[in-house]
Amino acid sequence: MNIILFTVFHFIAGPPLHGSGAGMYYGDTLRLPERRYTEATAGSQHLYNGVRYHFYDRTAETHQFFETREIFTGHIRYDGRSFGPVQMHYDVNLNQLAIKHPTGGYLISPDMRKVEAFNLDNHRFVRIKNHPQLPDAIYQIMWDGPTQLLSQRKKSRNERTENRQTFPVYLDENSYYVKTGDNFHKIKHRKNLYVLFPTKKKELRAYFRSLRQPFRENPDGQLIAAVKILDN
């Protein structure tokens, strides 16, 4: 049985959405910019209806976000509709997007159950559910060639005590999956690739040996290079 895993969404910024502002009375003309914003974005207000996101552990050496503390610009497929561009963080400790409100400047946590796909600059993410080989989760599409590479991004919060002070430490706990044929396989070690792709074992082993770097130090870069070898 063939299973359709996901659809790649093409996010295109369309014309402004117009709400029905007729009949509303605004006695305070200083609120005109807010009125215009509300009317122009009436169709997308539910994207910003979540609870406030509070930026925690600001001074920690490590952080809870995907790649960086800096905010990304991207697009989001939410509850059957596409929105963007919007500014947002992806908190992979809580598995939560934090979207910057376009007028208030504060961060909003949308309902993640309604998030179908999003991109952060050139990084693409998609929700996969009801798949027999993958946990229901949001995955980054790291490579979308004949061999597909997905990553489920995750960080855990730990604590370090030094000089009687406790500091938060975030550690990567990402999971990686490679698709061969119709099947996905979890990749924990280089040896997993050797077993899955015996005809490419020699090339893969030569590449990994040339790095002189443990897999755990750069799994993203090593796996992307590996699937490029597989698709060559």
Low-confidence ranges of the chain (pLDDT < 50): 1-30, 35, 38-39, 42-43
The total of other beta-carbon atoms located within 10 Å of residue 52's CB is 11
Domain count, the chain: 2
Asked whether residue 102 is domain-assigned, the answer is yes
Cβ pair 121, 48 in contact under 8 A: no
Cβ pair 118, 47 in contact under 8 A: no
Domain span at residue 80 reads 29-187
Cβ-proximal residues to 134 (8 Å cutoff; 6+ apart), any chain: 128, 150, 177, 184
Cβ pair 125, 134 in contact under 8 A: no
Asked whether residue 81 is domain-assigned, the answer is yes
Tokens standing for residue 96: 């939560």
Type of residue found at 91: D
pTM to 2 decimals? 0.80
Task: Say yes or no: 77 and 175 in one domain.
Answer: yes
Task: Say yes or no: 143 and 209 in one domain.
Answer: no
Task: Say yes or no: 213 and 224 in one domain.
Answer: yes
Q: How far apart are CA 131 and CA 13, in angstroms?
A: 31
Asked whether residue 202 is domain-assigned, the answer is yes
Convert the pLDDT of each residue in 126-174 to its tens digit. Answer: 999 999 999 999 999 999 999 999 999 999 999 999 888 899 999 999 9
Which residues in 12-39 are b (16+ Cβ under 10 Å) and which e?
A: eeeeeeeeeeeeeeeeeeeeeeeeeebb
Position 185 scores a pLDDT of 97
